[in-house]
Amino acid sequence: MANLVILSTSQLNGFRDALVLALVFVVIVVACYYSTKFVSKAGLNLQKNKNIKVLEVFRLNQTKYLYIVKMGDKTMSLGVTKDHIEFLSELNEESLDFTQAETPHKDFKELLKMYKDKKEE
């Protein structure tokens, strides 16, 4: 005779509850994905302006920064703190150097070897 599996009502309710929870979890994850995608696109659209560009930022300490900003055809430096923005000076854009400082790119294996050699010394 074939073995019949008989499930009690409490086991069926537990299975149904677990299935509903899994479904709610999937719905929440999908909603988070699409809302994050929407918010990031909205943020990108806000940054696509033609007249104001941040050319460079230099951090002085945790709350103080120097900005080089181009507004229209003028380039200027700004001092920025948590509560205040101060115009410092107008700059000559031709005298500025925007080339990136080259940092030697090392892969993880090289960094690990360098750390290991340093530790052995």
| Tens of pLDDT, residue by residue, the chain (121 residues) | 455 555 566 666 778 888 999 999 999 999 999 998 888 777 666 666 678 888 889 899 999 999 999 888 899 999 999 999 999 999 887 787 777 666 666 778 888 888 888 877 6
Q: How many CB atoms lie within 10 A of CB 69?
A: 18
- Report pLDDT for 7: 56
The Cα 85–Cα 104 span in angstroms is 35
Q: Provide Rg for the chain, Cα atoms.
A: 29
The Cα 38–Cα 46 span in angstroms is 13
Kindly give, in sequence order, each residue whose CB lies less than 8 Å from that of residue 80, ignoring residues fewer than 6 positions away: 64, 65, 66, 67, 86
CB 91 within 8 A of CB 98: no
Phi and psi at residue 33, in whole multiples of 5°? -60, -50
Q: How many residues does the structure list for the chain?
A: 121
The Cα 12–Cα 9 span in angstroms is 5
